[in-house]
Chain A
Amino acid sequence: MSRSARSCAVAGAFLLAFTGLASADAVKLGRPALPEEIKAWDIDVRPDGLGLPEGKGSVSQGEELFQNNCAACHGEFGEGVGRWPVLAGGQGTLKSERPEKTIGSFWPDTSTVFDYVHRAMPFGAAQTLQPDEVYAIVAYLLYLNDVVAEDYVLSKENFPKVALPNQANFYDDDREITEKAFWNAQPCMKDCKPKVEITSHAAVLDVTPDAGKEGDKPAGAVE
């Protein structure tokens, strides 16, 4: 090869090495995920039961586990201690002045109880419960919410048959239809209303935090 041909080849290789990489594949980034690795992280459980591990647990086993691991925050009967979340009760409150949203009154899917308790509870010791323990605790929470009877044993097999009462009351975002009036490109600019009155004052409630004062506790949460 002549000298100039060789330098051309070198330049060509350089260009090849530094141009036109369209995807991770092209640069061979990442490596295959091993089945054991996927299994270690893939703990999610879907409403149709996909992702449930083998296992089972009874209401009474769940009661004991709950008293030992959960009741300090959520209360013996899931009623919530102080400001910790309430897990049971609240049926019939969703249209009221003060809705109480719990597993029994609000949640649509049983699978969420399993998934969430397994992934995030007990608060501060997440993912320490074994599958049988989670089945038992979920059974107890369903019992506290009048969804199953006292002698119920929850398992991978019967799980998908347990439905929560409020499931039918969820529907997909429809703002573009029901709030169509907000797409009003020509809002009023002049003499829009004859008079204006103040209807509500934050200073009356006076719950704004400040350095010198213990925070008051009105209703509500960031959720």
Chain B
Amino acid sequence: MNQTKPGRRVDRRRFLTLAGLAGAGAAAGVRPAAAEATPDPDIVNLPPWTQALGAGVNNHPYGTPSPFEKDVVRREVTWLTASSESSVSFTPLYALDGIITPNGLCFVRHHGGEAEIDPARHRFMIHGMVDKPLVFTMEDIKRMPGRTNRVYFLECAANSGMEWRGAQLNGCQYTHGMIHNVVYTGVPLRAFLEAAGVKPKGKWVLAEGADASAMTRSIPLEKAMDDCLVAWAMNGEALRPEQGYPLRLVVPGWEGNMWIKWLRRIEVGDQPWGQREETSKYTDLLADGRSRRFTFIMDAKSVVTSPSPQAPLHAKGPNVVSGVAWSGRGTITRVDVTLDGGKNWTTARIEGPALPRAMTRFYLDVDWNGEELLLQSRAMDDTGYVQPTKAELRAVRGVNSIYHNNGIQTWLVRSNGEAENVEVS
């Protein structure tokens, strides 16, 4: 690793642009006493929006966020990859709340750019070790019985992959933003496999996309028959092109690369196919030089999204520590938060639905006296798994595995409210 450019710090201007927060900054202190206060011009002077008429109902036939939210966008790290067709953009987790990621903010990872597919020309084929190889049109798929709606997180196995050797990227958008969580509408993959009739020797399926990378992954038949979905909608509308329109595979709890976008083909076979994305990539190189393969499940993980480097604290006194937790093994049952780098922990409040293999929101209401904080969160799931520290992970895996870094994240929150990505002993 190309270490240190000595002594450079987050400069304030830059930090504010990053966060997209115009008035952010030093802790403003406590509420002024009523007696010394001058009247608030935003109350005593009528603003234009209270007098003149606003825009009509269909000014934006497809609505977009307020212009004041213009900085809440996906971002790229251009030095990561050689071309933006084979790259990644990150979800702005720091600015989001609740559990559902808005469609336009869901992180994007492509290997051959975004395919633009006319749904009328899209076909979905099931073949291989089946009794009857079949072809479906999109219209057929939407007529299938057994349609379902399920909320799942999708996390890239390389999420936090830049952090194996130490704190590197300043913002949870970059350290943890290769994740999104939406409600999918689709039909169980099982229904298609049953329609084709899997032969007894069938043990694996190969899923393939129709894009210019013809992305492929081998998936055990057991998982394919269990909870995988063939989905055409997210958050109630058609999949976004960058998420695989018109059809994608949903592989709950397993690494995002397996959720084949632009899904066009499922082949049934009796062994895995040794594809590039399950050999050269998505295998975990350990310290002894050997590599784990088929590490499909995403272990329990969490991150405090606010405060964080892109979302500083503005004032002493009451504040809400907010974050998300998820586990590919099941349901999040508990999240603990520490303000002192792991000496003492408090159990946070899980708020809103806590669904299996879905993002779960937690809050801790705090009264901040302006002291430096070392903020961390620690997730637990219903299998009893506890999110490990980065040191615990490195002790088992070394620092070369790129994938599956679910270690506990630390934010240093300074007394002026600014936050930085750090690691602690």
Contact = CB atoms under 8 A, between A and B. Distances in A.
Contacts of A111: 274
Q: How big is chain A's contact interface, by range? A: 35 or more
Interface string B383-420: 11111100010001000101100000000100000001
Contacts of A31: 134-135
B374 A196 contact: yes
Contacts of A196: 340-343, 374, 424-425
Contacts of B167: 200-202, 205
B21 to A, nearest CB: 14
Interface string B190-227: 01101100000000001010001110100000000000
A216 to B, nearest CB: 6
B3 interface: yes
A33 B18 CA distance: 51
B79 A200 contact: no
A2 interface: no
A22 interface: yes
Contacts of A206: 5, 8-10, 170
Summarize A's interface: helix, strand, loop or mixed.
loop
A173 interface: yes
A192 interface: yes
A15 interface: no
Contact of A193 (B17, B161, B336, B343): B343
Interface centre among B87, B135, B267 (most CB of A within 10 A): B135
A97 to B, nearest CB: 7
Contacts of A108: 274, 279, 293
A184 B424 CA distance: 21
Interface stretch (B31-39, B91-99, B137-145, B244-252): B137-145
B349 interface: no
B20 to A, nearest CB: 10
Contacts of B378: 187
A190 B81 CA distance: 43
Contact of B289 (A46, A169, A193): A169
Interface string A183-207: 1110111111101111111111111
B312 interface: no
A23 B194 contact: yes
Nearest to B291: A170
Contacts of A43: 214
A187 B386 contact: yes
A22 B146 CA distance: 8
A120 interface: yes
A209 B424 contact: no
A99 B14 contact: no
A207 B140 contact: no
A26 B146 CA distance: 12
B200 to A, nearest CB: 18
B339 to A, nearest CB: 11
Given A38-B125, A120-B214, 7 more contacts: A46-B274, A116-B276, A185-B386, A205-B3, A206-B9, A206-B10, A219-B2
Interface of B: 1-10, 14, 17-18, 75-83, 85-88, 109, 111-112, 125-128, 132-136, 140-141, 143-145, 156, 158, 161-162, 166-171, 174, 178, 191-192, 194-195, 206, 208, 212-214, 216, 264-265, 267, 269, 271, 273-276, 279-283, 285, 287-297, 299, 309, 336, 340-345, 374, 378, 380, 383-388, 392, 396, 400, 402-403, 412, 420-425
The 5 A-B residue pairs with the shortest CB-CB distance in the complex, in nearest-first order: A24-B195, A196-B341, A202-B421, A33-B133, A200-B166
